[in-house]
Structure 1
């Protein structure tokens, strides 16, 4: 039986779209990535509802939520409004891509949060070049510079044609998307599961594949170093791409359910 319920929660004058998948267990807020919407969780939420109370939202400027200035604080305020209105007490948080970084900031602000799951949402490909491992891809510094510039240009072209989020909030959103959230994850005290994709997205231009190899190698290096010195961080690599939420919803649901259950046992 379909127990999905859609509604809006007001954060001041801003309507935030919410989707409940049923369930009466531990609450878990589900956060989509930049340019997406809450429907990204539709293949995962119903499975989670067997043991949890999953609630997905459209981030501001996305889906059917209202438009408002983007910042981490503003997005967190929206989540707080939803948690208060739906009486989500000590919710766990799971996020994909940008949603993973937002989940980290939720737990940083709310240390009572029992668990965080980040699905390939720890660091964007366009950050400091120190975050890459060019040797893993056989790249020189000059080649790395060129490919980072090429990737930035591709992201710029995509942003220029975006209807949601609107162009006037894209610059602020882009700054968030391109941030490195590993330092935030390191500061948390709650159990965190960092899920790393190991393959590139289909359709990636072939010339950019070495850049993504260098990116994933640098991310793996830094995540493993953090996990070795921070016992609350747990790492899992999966044989999938950044689109793992759509490629392997059953496995994603199992990872979230198992991790949250262990953290709240």
Structure 2
């Protein structure tokens, strides 16, 4: 569990696996931590280098986030310290937004990219926007817990959902609300055509946080994108069906990459 100081925050990370080849860099989502990727770390580390971190203010990292670009800068600074030039970002939800910010800022460093349950522009229907605004008026822990419960597909074990809800509710209030505002402000939908690297979009069919139609709208903007939809998962695909996600990434890293 190494830790490094970046822009005034102590960031915790893991750097495992082989040192040859282009590493996978796993970036978790809002109110989560690097352990969302436990299955992928175990799956890929025997064959390639894998890096993950707790984002600023999350998990075992310090500091407070303010914008997606700032979080992308943290990831970039960590990779610079680790002497990583080219890499493959794998971002879940807010982590996918960070991955896109990385790709737009330094496209020459991106070998390819995987976006999991993520989008390029946060869009709410009028009804969903009203629900989100009302939920922000609820007690803080209820706001976080309600969002986590909505993130899982119907039928997912309740005990596991409660465990993730407790972990998310332990995230400091300022970190949670700043992260929420950062996601609402993030909008690169009109720029993703600049990203020429191959992109895999993996999405849970039952995702009601960032619904499939929003992801498909994004997919049309990418010059080299392929889509995988996992039928039995919601928004928390890395823990709802981790084997299916790892398999999709395996496919993309070998036979599944689009031709430029």
Alpha-carbon distance in structure 2 between the residues aligned to 1:217 and 1:244? 13
Partner of 1:93: 89
Determine helix, strand or coil for the equivalent of 1:26. coil
Change (3 A) 1:223 1:123: closer
Partner of 1:117: 114
CA shift at 1:176, angstroms?
2.3
Q: What corresponds to 1:233 in structure 2?
A: 225
- Work out whether residues 11 and 54 of structure 2, in 8 Å CA contact, stay in contact via their aligned partners in 1: yes
Change (3 A) 1:189 1:158: farther
Structure 1 distance, partners of 2:140, 2:29, is 14
- In structure 2, the CA distance between the partners of 1:158 and 1:110, relative to structure 1 (3 Å rule), is farther
| Structure 1 residue corresponding to 2:134, chosen from 148, 153, 157 | 153
Partner of 2:246: 253
Residue 183, structure 1, aligned to residue 190, structure 2: yes
Change (3 A) 1:13 1:219: closer
Corresponding residue to 1:50 among 30, 46, 65: 46
Deviation for aligned residue 1:42:
0.8
Task: Please tell me the root mean square deviation across aligned C-alpha atoms, in Å.
Answer: 2.8
How much has 1:174 moved relative to structure 2? Answer: 1.1
Identify which of 8, 11, 14 aligns with 1:13: 8
Q: TM-score, normalised by structure 1?
A: 0.75
Match of 1:74 in 2: 70
**C-alpha displacement at 1:7, in angstroms?**
0.4
In the other structure, the counterpart of 1:172 is 178
CA distance in 1, matches of 2:119, 2:67: 17
Query: In 1, are the aligned partners of 2:17 and 2:47 still within 8 Å (CA)?
Result: no
Q: CA deviation at 1:221?
A: 5.0
* Unmatched tracts of structure 1, length 5 or more: 1-5, 130-144, 201-211
CA distance in 2, matches of 1:238, 1:71: 30
Is the alpha carbon distance of 1:28 and 1:184 closer, same or farther for their aligned partners in structure 2, counting shifts above 3 Å? farther
Q: Is the 8 A contact 1:9 1:16 kept in 2?
A: yes
**SS of the residue aligned with 1:235?**
strand
| Equivalent-residue separation in structure 1 for 2:33 and 2:93 (angstroms) | 12
Match of 1:55, SS state, is strand
Structure 2 length as normaliser, TM-score? 0.76
Deviation of 1:122 after TM superposition, in Å, equals: 1.0
